[in-house]
Amino acid sequence: MIYPEIQRRRTRAVRVGGVVIGGEAPVVVQSMTNTATADADATIEQVRRLAEAGAELVRVSVPTKADTAALKRIVADSPVPIVADVPFPFDRALEAIDAGVAKIRLNPGNIRDRGQVRRVIAAAADAGAAIRVGVNEGSVVDRTDDASHAADLARPLDELMVEKMAEYLAVFQEADFHDLVLSAKSHDAVTTVAASRLIAERWDYPLHLGVTHAGTAATGAMRSAAALGALLCEGIGDTIRISYAGDPTAEVAAALELLYSLRLRPRMGLDLIACPTCGRALMDMEPIVEQIRTALAGVDFPVSVAVMGCVVNGPGEAEGADVAICAGKGKAILYRGGKRLRTVSLDEIVPAVVAAVGEIGKSRR
């Protein structure tokens, strides 16, 4: 089977510590701590857990001087590059760059003084730090006077976000600073998609994708996957963060699952395809699927296994999977590499699949 591939939009490559965002690099998974950054021990502990879960960059928020004071140790002890999120005073940006972070995140809605932005750009250029310019729905509306406020509220939000981005980027262009990553986030999936599309049309800087305040893992998964999936399917997006309320390691698992499902990253271990057990199923699927999942949980190479309950879609799916089982009446057909191997009894299914996967493992060593 020849599966179509996502054609990724070509962007500039931006170096963030040892990680590259954009260019030919795979989509980078990032997350953010929810500890007080000033508590260096707790933050380092969470950064490590996020890195173990698969985060390739971790962002920490630095609203206070106590937070930036903790950064040097966090940067030194982190297994992945650290990004500092600078919500307000521009001094925090200078302190963070001084502490050695690989990237800072600025929000055009919060640090507007051009002179201050120029000083941050100069410091980042000296230190080799990248900058994300991240526009958020929450800080894009001008509240300095009633007239501007009313005018901004009357405009489509996606256009307003991109206009603020353009105004802000002018300072970076004047300074000839291009180690930039851009983002436009909203809690609303459609707005995130629309604004990110506009940005992708207009600039060739890499894009950071995320939906803000998506909710808990239970409620936020569909919203995040819909928005990020839509953009990634259009080839847009160089780094992603899924943001859930609660334990951030769940964010990383979800982000990886999204990239696996779009084949933007090879899944190490088992990719199990199971048919949804309709009335046609000729075997009791769930226990067999679970036994196979348990038996192959430790697999450390990419392998796909399809478990199909009937012959309607079974043979076709079997041709696309490394190992497949397709149930008939009281027996099943075992496939390997898209080819029919032999008929097995229902009892033999699990050991036969495990053995076939084991052989593939040997051949890949």
x/- letters, 104..143, toward its own copies (CB under 8 A):
---x-xx-------------------------xxxxxx-x
274 binds its own copies (CB under 8 A): yes
CA–CA distance, 225 with 231 (Å, rounded to integer):
10
Q: Which of 16, 124, 243, 357 binds its own copies (CB under 8 A)?
A: 243
Nearer to its own copies, 17 or 314 (CB): 314
Q: Which of 280, 284, 345, 355 binds its own copies (CB under 8 A)?
A: 280
- Within residues 329-348, the interface with its own copies by CB under 8 A covers none
238 binds its own copies (CB under 8 A): no
- Within residues 144-173, the interface with its own copies by CB under 8 A covers 153-158
261 binds its own copies (CB under 8 A): yes
Q: Do residues 325 and 275 touch, judged by C-beta distance below 8 A?
A: no
258 binds its own copies (CB under 8 A): yes
285 binds its own copies (CB under 8 A): yes
Structure-token pair, residue 28: 């980078």
Q: Which range, of 162-170, 199-207, 278-286, 346-354, touches its own copies by CB under 8 A? A: 278-286
DSSP 8-state code for residue 137? G
| Single-letter code of the amino acid located at 203 | W
Residue 173 CB, nearest approach to its own copies (Å): 26
29 bridge partner residues: 240
Nearer to its own copies, 11 or 224 (CB): 224
30 binds its own copies (CB under 8 A): no
69 binds its own copies (CB under 8 A): no
- In three-state secondary structure terms, 298 is coil
CA–CA distance, 176 with 170 (Å, rounded to integer):
10
Nearer to its own copies, 270 or 356 (CB): 270
Residue 88 CB, nearest approach to its own copies (Å): 7
Q: Which of 115, 64, 124, 50 is nearest to 94 (CA)?
A: 124
Residues 6+ apart with CB under 8 A from 332: 283, 325, 326, 343, 344, 345, 346, 349
Size of the site for its own copies (CB under 8 A): 99
Q: Collect contacts of 337-343 with beta carbons under 8 A, ≥24 apart.
A: 338/1
Structure-token pair, residue 142: 């001008």
Q: Which range, of 2-10, 13-21, 124-132, 355-363, touches its own copies by CB under 8 A? A: 2-10
Structure-token pair, residue 194: 């629309």
Residue 53 CB, nearest approach to its own copies (Å): 15
322 bridge partner residues: none
**CA distances (Å), origin 124, targets 13, 80, 130, 291, 303:** 17, 19, 7, 53, 43
CA–CA distance, 37 with 63 (Å, rounded to integer):
9
Q: Which of 56, 67, 95, 238 binds its own copies (CB under 8 A)?
A: 67
Nearer to its own copies, 25 or 230 (CB): 230
Q: Which of 11, 37, 68, 239 binds its own copies (CB under 8 A)?
A: 37
Q: Do residues 168 and 133 touch, judged by C-beta distance below 8 A?
A: yes
CA–CA distance, 313 with 321 (Å, rounded to integer):
13
Q: Which range, of 95-103, 119-127, 308-316, 353-361, touches its own copies by CB under 8 A? A: 308-316
Structure-token pair, residue 231: 């953009």
Q: Which of 10, 202, 263, 342 binds its own copies (CB under 8 A)?
A: 263
Nearer to its own copies, 35 or 179 (CB): 35
